[in-house]
Structure 1
Amino acid sequence: MTDALPLAGIRVLDVSQVMAGPFCCMLLGDMGADVIKVEPPVVGDSSRRSMGFRLKGDDSPGFLALNRNKRSIVLDLKAAEDRDTFYALAKTADVVVENGRPGVADRLGIGYDTLHALNPRLIYASISGFGPGGPWAMRPGYDLIAQAMSGLMSAVGMPDQEPVKNTTPVGDLGSALFAAYGILSALIGRERTGEGQFITASLFEAALGLSIWETAELWGTGKSPKPLGSANRMSAPYQAVQASDGYFVFAAANQKLWLSLLGVIGRPELNDDPRFADNSARVANARQLIELLRPTFAERPANHWVEALLAAGVPSGPIYNYEQSLASEHTRARAMVQDIPHPVEGSFKALGFPVKLSATPQSVRYPPPLLDQHGAEIRRELAERGLLPATADRA
Structure 2
Amino acid sequence: MLRSAAASRKKTVREATSSNEARRGRMDITAYRKHPGISLDQHVKQRVVELGKSLEQRVPVYLDTKFWIILRDSASGARTDAPALDLLQRLRRLVGNGTIFCPISDSAFSEFMKRGDLLSRLAIARIVDELSLGVTCLDSRTRMRIEIAHFVHGFQNDGHELHPLHHLVWSKLAYVLGFVHPNETPFDAETELAIQKAFFDHMWGQSLETMMTTIGTASPPDGLHFDTSDLNRGVEEHAHELKSFEQCYEAEIRGSVELGAELAMDITGELFREKTAEPPPERGSAQWQKFWSQWANLLFTALTRRPEIRQQLRMLHIYASLHAAFRWNKARRFKSNDLYDFEHASAALAHCRAFFTESALHATITARNIALDTLFQCRVASEIEDAISVLKEIEAARGELNMAG
TM-score norm. by structure 1 comes to 0.29
Q: Pick the structure with more strand per residue.
A: 1
Greater RCO (CA < 8 Å, at least 6 residues apart): 2
Larger radius of gyration: 1
Q: Pick the structure with more helix per residue.
A: 2
TM-score norm. by structure 2 comes to 0.28
